[in-house]
Amino acid sequence: MFILAGLPRSGITVLSALLNQNPKIYVTTTSAFVEILWRCYSVWDEEKRVENFNTDKLKKAKVPFLKGMTDSYFSQLTDKPIVIDKCRQWMNIANIEMYIKVYGERPKILCPVRSVDEIVISFAELYIKNKTSWWSWDGIDNWLSGNQFYDSYYQMKEALNSEYKDCFHLFEYDDLVNDTQNTMDNIYKFLEVDGYNHTLNVEVAEIESDWGLDGLHKIRKKISKKVSNTLIPSDLHTTFNEMNFWRVT
């Protein structure tokens, strides 16, 4: 099992569609698996339940049970040999450490990134299209808050400044759309699996929730970068450019 995380509006859905072209790979829709795994993982350590798990056999059963649960979970979704679980919460250091303890190896996390100003523009156009009443440039901190953007951004930043930096394969959204096959070849090299020749004509393998924003997971039928006419106020443009920390050498 590999991981697909990264920043929102940075090509995660496009990459999923590309990877799902490979007959050996199954990429989930936005997944709840990390939450399921965390709850089962944590229950062994809850103080009020400790007596229930205090026997030697149950202590030893924790990791085998979680591995077996993993196999059972994904066998209900696919019979392909390689699974990529898509969820940005995997960038949380606590979840990375859980992965290591359960599976006995460091995770391989695919992490697309994109200029923050372009991410904001992409969100803004979605809000405008959906006629979201609370959208405005003045309220930008509100509509980027929580899991919408900031949670993923700061979790990624913390993880990339930690001892787990080597778990991540970062690649730019522009490279994915402008140099697609080479970008995919580098992804396969990072995952250490056989490569695949992809077509630029893509479609999502499974429809998933749009979380109240129509078009959130919609992709163009042929990979390309949309030219936007939306302009960010100049003061915010400077602020967002300074947030692209992964480009600082």
Which tens digits make up the pLDDT trace of 167-218?
Answer: 999 999 999 999 999 999 999 999 999 999 999 877 766 666 555 555 445 6
Write out the two tokens for 241: 């450019």
Q: How many domains does the chain have?
A: 1
Bridge partners, residue 2, by sequence = 84
Cα 100 to Cα 108: distance, rounded to the nearest angstrom = 11
Cα 150 to Cα 98: distance, rounded to the nearest angstrom = 22
Over residues 107-151, the pLDDT tens digits come to 999 999 999 989 988 888 877 777 776 677 777 878 788 888 899
Kindly tell me the number of DSSP H helices and DSSP E strands found in the chain: 10, 5
CATH number at residue 40: 3.40.50.300
Write out the two tokens for 11: 């090509």
Domain span including residue 135:
2-247
Cα 209 to Cα 147: distance, rounded to the nearest angstrom = 15
Q: Give the predicted TM-score (pTM) of the model.
A: 0.89
- Contact between 112 and 173 under an 8 Å Cβ cutoff? The reply is yes
